[in-house]
Structure 1
Amino acid sequence: MTRIIFAAAAVVVLGGAAGVAGAGPLLTPSALAAQTQEQPIIIDIRDTGYEDGHVPGAIWTPYATFRGPSDNPGAVPDVAKLEAAFEQFGLEQDQPIVIVPEGRSDTDFGAAARVYWTLKSTGFTDLAILNGGTQAWSAAGFPVETTTNNLLASDLELSFSDRWLASADAVAATVAGSRDAVLVDSRPEDFFAGRSKHDLAVKPGTLPGAANLPHGRFFPNGGPVIAADLDAGPLRQALGLDAAPGREVVAFCNTGHWAATEWFALSELAGIEDVKLYPGSMVEWSQARQPMQNTPTLLGNLTRQIFGG
């Protein structure tokens, strides 16, 4: 069993994405409030709560829009459905977009990271996440509004790039040894070790040969705000990339939510190349009855039920 421990630290910025108005892939509330070069499209991705108060000017683009069906929520929606939704929202590929989650926990950040990944994969290039979301905005003393904002419908022609996507087939090839990649389980250790599982997963466990780098390690003191500056050096070393430069990294979790944070931290903040997200993750993998590691045996489960532990 391999478990990678890395404490997020504010050190040196290395190479991440350009972000809104050149500000980087993260914005603080103050930085968003000070945006004057080009007014960004602000999207509030909460499934509920928009009507109770949101960042002024924000439009409502619920997270559910970016997710798959109820039995496999990590799946990427059909690109035609994404295109229709984005046109209805009024999104434009040549305008900066700021993604605003709730910001109560690091799990909320995962929603923003998944939206960021989806937009980037469909050709949107000027993207940023409001670090800490609506909660940080309000805590900083900036006003919220309850007005429902809408943009004029846009006209898009989208395709979905696989540059940052690891398909189930690619993951299966990696597990089989015919494809070279580092598999990174972004879940807390209990999931990685097979002591917990998602309700939709057929059984607990992880991908064979995977290492564990929990997404929560990127959030100082367990808070909802991700560390803005990550040093790629310790991460590359921990993932074995120094010994194998150019090797792909594939992040996964239960449904491609926590793993989106992992992808964002490694790719957009630390600037590590060739980081991909397996969106369906362990729910999809286990439902397909693919080989797994750290899966307790029936005898082991019975022993724990009788004797505890």
Structure 2
Amino acid sequence: MKKIQWLLALVLISLVSLAQAITLPGPVVSADWLANNMSEVQVIEVRTDLASYLRSPEFDTDKKTGKKFLVEVGGHIANSTLLDFKKVRVERLVDGKKIKHLIPEKADFEKLVQSLGINSDKPIVLVPIGQDMSDIDEALRTYWSFKVYGEDQVAVLDGGMAGWLSEGREFTIANSPKATGNWIAKAERKELIASSNEVAAASKSGKPQLLDARQPAQYLGLAKRPDVLTFGHIAGSKELAPELLARPSNGALYFWQKKTYDALLAANGLSSKGPTIAYCNTGHLASGGWFVMSELVGNKSTKLYDGSLYLWTLEGRPLVGVPLN
């Protein structure tokens, strides 16, 4: 009898804990919200420059106004954990070929997240550097990966660490290792991933619409990344350049409101509604296009082409662009 009472008590405690668990306000949280709810969430700082996590930030002073401003991000939010962005994308075998830049297998992603000390009992807030859209896309690619594997209690800090520091908030350069967490992948949402064949069909039919998330020079075929074998873009695609996706303020980048994104999409010949596939060079910058379309505009029929033009051109598929001399 006592054992049954003890089990019932544990169940009640668990239910109360779930009822009290905080709910994220949306896919993006402000620095104010994070500061007020720090003990209720788990913070992951997503970076390529790993040394910056334990390095002091650099500030300078405007000679005219005397105002201090951020020059280089350093340090981290207390009790956060560091995620090496290079581990977010891996090499996998696809049809017997080794393909780089892809989302890890479910078990591998689960192991990676657990190694950060992340548990399943609290929401997750991802923090980019926040000074360039490319580094913000590191957090957005991680966000997309969490979504693929069933995690809905995840958000991104608006302004990133740059915004946090520019607002004069507390930071630390101390390292605080964490025990292995118990986070579990709850699903495998393959509907968020577009295949090469889906992209090829969309290029011919115009549906879904194709969103190219690269800079104009790459879209037009004037320049290319080394991983992409030929110049240009997929026929029928429309560009949404990364520099359009956020607004600068005090040394940090912040997301626009939905109405601004709706207008930007329309100005670039893209619809804010209807099926969409976002792509870029390797699936990094495409995370920004996917996040804006799916999470901020609310178009849930948006996919990301994992591997993007690296995979597309590796398969010998064509691109179009302006004539080169």
TM-score bucket of the superposed structures, by smaller chain: 0.7 to 0.9
- Whether 1:144 and 2:171 are equivalent positions in the alignment is yes
Aligned-partner Cα distance in 1 for 2:36–2:110: 30
- 1:26 to partner: Cα distance: 1.3
Aligned to 1:234: 263
The 2-side partners of 1:217 and 1:240 are apart by: 14
| C-alpha displacement of 1:200 | 1.1
Q: What code does the residue aligned with 1:31 have?
A: W
Match of 2:297 in 1: 270
Q: CA deviation at 1:158?
A: 5.0
Query: For the aligned residues, what is the CA RMSD?
Result: 2.5
1:50 aligns with 2:77: no
Q: Which structure has more RCO (C-alpha within 8 Å, separation ≥ 6)? A: 1
2:134 matched to which residue of 1? 107
| 1:94/1:126 contact within 8 Å kept | no
Could you say which structure has the higher strand fraction?
2
Residue type at the aligned position of 2:184: L
The two structures have a TM-score, normalised by structure 1, of 0.80
Q: Give 5+ residue unaligned stretches, structure 2.
A: 1-21, 56-74, 93-97
Instruction: Assess if the C-alpha contact under 8 Å between 2:230 and 2:319 holds in 1.
Output: no
Distance 2:185 2:37 in 1: 28
| Structure 2 equivalent of residue 180 of structure 1 | 207
SS of residue in 2 equivalent to 1:183: strand
Compute the displacement of 1:127 (Å).
1.1
Tell me what 1:128 maps to: 155
Rounded to whole Å, the distance in 2 between the matches of 1:157 and 1:166 is: 20
* CA shift digits 1:31-83 (9 cap, x unpaired): 211116x6111001113122222111101221112112398543222222112
CA deviation after TM superposition for structure 1 residue 211, in Å: 0.9
Change (3 A) 1:81 1:29: same
Alignment TM-score, normalising by the size of structure 2: 0.76
Q: Match of 2:175, as an amino acid?
A: T
Q: Which amino acid in 2 is paired with 1:40?
A: V
- Take 2:100 and 2:158, find their aligned partners in 1: how far apart are those partners? 24
Question: Aligned-pair distance for 1:28?
Answer: 2.1
What residue is the counterpart of 1:83 in the other structure?
110
Instruction: Give 3-state SS (helix, strand or coil) of 1:225's partner.
Output: strand
Change over 3 Å in CA distance of 1:149–1:118 after alignment to 2: same
Aligned equivalent of 2:307:
280
> What is the aligned partner in structure 2 of residue 11 from structure 1?
none
Runs of 4 or more off by more than 6 Å in structure 1? none
2:16 equivalent in structure 1: none
Q: CA deviation at 1:236?
A: 6.3
Task: Give the whole-Å Cα distance in 2 for the aligned partners of 1:228 and 1:127.
Answer: 19
Larger Rg: 2
Unaligned stretches of 5+ residues in structure 1: 1-19, 305-309
Deviation (angstroms), 1:157: 4.7
Is residue 2:194 matched to residue 1:191?
no
| Residue identity matched to 1:65 | K
